[in-house]
Amino acid sequence: MKRRDATLALLVAPLSAAFAQQPARVARIGYLSHPTRESVERGVTAFVARLAQLGWVEGRNLVIEYRWAEGDAARLPALARELVDRRVDLIVAPAGVAALAAKQATTTIPIVMIFPFDPVGMGLVSDLRRPGGNVTGTTFAPGRELVGKQLQLLKEALPGLVRVGLLRNPTDPGWSQQQAAL
């Protein structure tokens, strides 16, 4: 969880760059999340704290418009459109499915994705080195080849391993890509 907290905190760079020349302006971030707020509270707290360290304080020069799908991916497109209609300056999408909904809702508002499995395969970006378009961010895996390698390393670390179970979110478009890589 600490890596996720750190990643959320680091993803404020696009906001800082966008408003570096306009310190008096109130920035508006849209935060589009698939799970409940309670399930990701630590990451959200770290994100808001890092923003404050960089001078972006809610209620002073920053407004964060939170949208929670409460685990229902079908709600994400409407929530993403809401953020676009609210004219946010940046959308933070901490899941591949949220980033996809945001990308489908806008081609002009910058979108910061966090941890999609295969952003190229999902159609979020054209290339990891040069994402193009309005989507940027991080990924926890560079693609299909790493999933097989992770399983190989697990087998090497636990030579007697016979069976591995995986928990999955069936609404996450990256799951089928992960499963195919196994």
**Which tens digits make up the pLDDT trace of 19-78?**
555 556 899 999 999 999 999 999 999 999 999 999 999 999 999 999 999 999 999 999
CA distances from 152 to 110, 148, 155 (A): 37, 6, 5
- Say which amino acid occupies 75: R
Fold of 2-137: Rossmann fold (3.40.50)
Q: Rounded to the nearest 5°, which phi and psi values hold at 48?
A: -65, -40
**Which tens digits make up the pLDDT trace of 93-106?**
988 899 999 999 99
Report whether 83 contacts 29 (CB < 8 A): no
**pTM higher than the cut 0.95:** no
Q: In angstroms, rounded to a whole number, what is the distance separating the alpha carbons of residues 170 and 132?
A: 28
Domain with CATH 3.40.50.2300 in the chain: 2-137
